[in-house]
């Protein structure tokens, strides 16, 4: 069990050694006296979430939910039914990257698997970057540094530990035939994503713990090289793909909580993502 | 898409018809103009969560995590590895009732599946009922109405929409050989749970949306009939089994968020359960 102040001890310890953003964080955590895991995180000052609305950023996941690779990635099998056994129970066979799901750093070989991301990084202030108008004109639209700077010019600098979401309006197409994948005759998909320069801006100049897209990828559809993935995830920051309902939220002021399953060694997982807002 | 005030409209509408707690809620939601789902819930007054600690109430789930039935209920298979493909990706074959997981009402034939529980019911004020001393003496200890009333005598009536958790200390045994299941020579398990009278008290006299146990069941181990399950779940209230780290929390004042996967028709699912506390 981890003592309440343990995570902050770890952060301070690592900070002193300039390891704050390094992949050795989890290992260092285990080495600290009294800690066998990072189950509790404590802030030096208290935080407040004011809300009167809870918005579900999660799509309902079905066997025919569209996938990046194309074929179904979920099979639901009934093991018991109330009619026969008195209770209902299913088994899922599921690819970790299906539906509204997390890309843990380990997906692109960061050291943190879904179960070892510090819980303090699963909760954060949300900045919604609205590129719906551009995405309507161009399915290959990307979030750029200028988009983020435009947000900051109105709402101030991205808050510490922020979560940045791209709202391209693509969630509306999720069960609309083939439109969510939007593949052309050559099989190349066309949907919005984060430009590598925006990734660099958030990594080099900001304190952003996670990003979210409302499409099938963090990268835009025609990306030949997963550039955004390869830059972002190995730094032990996370992503969420295929979020829903961002248009229900204010673009500033909401708080997000990411409920990713805590399965050992996971590269991600179908997650429940809720936002608290006024 | 559901308009912001939609859920409250539904609740008021159902309330007028005395259907507030009825199984027809989801159907009624769909029938209301402008609503195709319950993705947003709005309260008439704003709420506040003050916290400086986030406590992870979730065990890390591994293939050898103990199960109610005995055999493993999780298989993790690597489909891609960074060494070979540039990225890591696993597939899980998993029983919905494995690890720290939800029992959705539908598990015992309530109408609400995990994906249709209103999100407002996935967040609530936590009351921790501490029976650790009794459970140390008697593995078959149960939470009784007197335990809940003793909590109320100190902290006041259970708050509206409360989540009530049993802390028996059993989470410490989760990977301790066979101790979590604690089966005797006849195969009968012995661990704490909720007494039917406590279930009745919470249903008839209180406004409790969910209960959590730190053992393999809502019922105590030797239960021959799942009495607590059969009483609680069909009323469209939920349960979480095998929660962890309740001892890290104050017994009153924390707020819980249940991150259950939103998979269509699910009777439950491995969940990320976080608590916010001072």
CATH number at residue B244: 3.50.30.50
Does any domain span residue A38?
Answer: no
Note the helical H segments in B126-192: 132-137, 145-155
| Cα separation, B274 vs B179, whole angstroms | 25
Query: Measured between CA atoms, how close is A158 to chain B, in angstroms?
Result: 21
- Per the structure block, which two tokens stand in for A114? 């879904």
Q: Quick one: residue B48, left, alpha or beta (phi over 0 = left, psi -120 to 50 = alpha)?
A: beta
- Across all residues in chain A, what is the average pLDDT? 88
Considering the entire predicted model, what is its pTM? 0.87
Does any domain span residue A45?
Answer: no
Among A244, A253, A232, A251, smallest CA distance to A271 is for: A244
Candidates A52, A93, A264; nearest CB to B60: A264
**Antiparallel, parallel or unpaired: β A74-80 and A89-95:** antiparallel
Q: What's the Cα-to-Cα distance from A196 to each of A103, A139, B21, B96, rounded to whole Å?
A: 17, 17, 49, 38
Does any domain span residue B38?
Answer: no
pLDDT at A30: 33
Does any domain span residue B23?
Answer: no
- Interface contact flag, B262 A89, Cβ < 8 Å: no
Among A159, A178, A176, A262, smallest CA distance to A221 is for: A178
| Cα separation, B202 vs B148, whole angstroms | 9
pLDDT at B38: 59
H/E segment holding residue B143: strand B142-143
Candidates A39, A60, A109; nearest CB to B82: A109
Calculate mean pLDDT across residues A154-158: 98
- Per the structure block, which two tokens stand in for B87? 């990225």
| Cα separation, A74 vs A261, whole angstroms | 16
A44 contacts: CB under 8 Å, gap ≥ 6: A8, B52
Tens of pLDDT, residue by residue over A252-261, are 999 999 999 9
Chain B residues in contact with A96 by the CB 8 A cut-off are 89-92
pLDDT at A177: 87
Q: What's the Cα-to-Cα distance from B65 to each of B57, B68, B70, rounded to whole Å?
A: 16, 10, 10
- Interface contact flag, A37 B58, Cβ < 8 Å: no
Query: Measured between CA atoms, how close is A272 to chain B, in angstroms?
Result: 5
Does any domain span residue B41?
Answer: no
B171 contacts: CB under 8 Å, gap ≥ 6: B59, B214, B242, B243, B244, B245, B246, B247
Candidates A245, A265, A268; nearest CB to B39: A245
Among A183, A171, A181, smallest CA distance to A249 is for: A171
Does any domain span residue B89?
Answer: yes
Tens of pLDDT, residue by residue over A20-59, are 333 333 333 333 333 334 578 887 789 999 999 999 999 9
Q: Output the CA torsion sign for B96, B97, B103, B105.
A: positive
Candidates A49, A87, A109; nearest CB to B107: A87
- Interface contact flag, A261 B244, Cβ < 8 Å: no
Among A113, A65, A164, A75, smallest CA distance to A268 is for: A113
Q: What's the Cα-to-Cα distance from B116 to each of A274, B25, B120, B126, rounded to whole Å?
A: 14, 10, 11, 22
Does any domain span residue A25?
Answer: no
Tens of pLDDT, residue by residue over B38-52, are 578 888 789 999 999
Nearest chain A residue to B91, by CA: A95
Q: Are A74 and A211 a contacting pair, CB within 8 Å?
A: no
pLDDT at A38: 58
Calculate mean pLDDT across residues B55-76: 98
Label each residue of B8-76 as H, E or C.
HHHHHHHHHCCCCCCCCHHHHHHHCCCCCCCCEEEEEEEEEEEEEEEEECECCECCCCCCCCCCCCEEE
- Interface contact flag, A109 B87, Cβ < 8 Å: yes
A2 pLDDT tier (thresholds 50, 70, 90): very low
- Per the structure block, which two tokens stand in for B49? 């969560």
Q: How many domains are contained in chain A?
A: 1
Q: Which domain holds residue B223?
A: 3-11+53-277
Tens of pLDDT, residue by residue over A177-222, are 899 999 999 999 999 999 999 999 999 999 999 999 999 999 999 9
Among B109, B227, B228, smallest CA distance to B164 is for: B228
């Amino acid at each position: 069990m981890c003592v309440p102040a343990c995570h902050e001890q770890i952060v301070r310890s690592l900070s002193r050694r300039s390891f704050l953003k390094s992949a050795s964080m989890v290992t260092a955590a285990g080495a600290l006296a009294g800690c066998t895991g990072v189950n509790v995180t404590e802030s030096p000052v208290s935080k407040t979430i004011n809300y009167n609305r809870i918005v579900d950023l999660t799509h309902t996941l079905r066997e025919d939910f569209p996938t990046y690779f194309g074929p179904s990635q979920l099979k639901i099998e009934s093991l018991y039914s109330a009619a026969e056994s008195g209770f209902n129970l299913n088994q899922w066979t599921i690819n970790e990257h299906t539906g509204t799901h997390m890309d843990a750093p380990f997906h692109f070989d960061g050291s943190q698997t879904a179960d070892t991301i510090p819980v303090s990084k699963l909760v954060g202030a949300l900045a919604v970057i609205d590129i719906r108008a551009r995405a309507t004109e161009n399915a290959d639209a990307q979030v750029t540094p200028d988009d983020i700077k435009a947000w900051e010019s109105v709402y101030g600098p991205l808050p510490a530990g922020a979560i940045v979401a791209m709202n391209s309006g693509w969630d509306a197409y999720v069960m609309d035939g083939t439109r969510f994948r939007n593949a052309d005759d050559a099989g190349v998909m066309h949907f919005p994503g984060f430009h590598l320069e925006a990734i660099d801006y958030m990594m080099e100049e900001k304190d952003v713990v996670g990003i979210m897209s409302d499409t099938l990828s963090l990268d835009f559809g025609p990306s030949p090289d997963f550039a955004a993935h390869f830059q972002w995830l190995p730094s032990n920051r996370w992503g969420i793909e295929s979020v829903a309902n961002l248009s229900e939220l204010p673009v500033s002021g909401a708080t997000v909580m990411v409920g990713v399953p805590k399965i050992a060694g996971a590269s991600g997982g179908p997650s429940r993502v809720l936002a608290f807002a006024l």
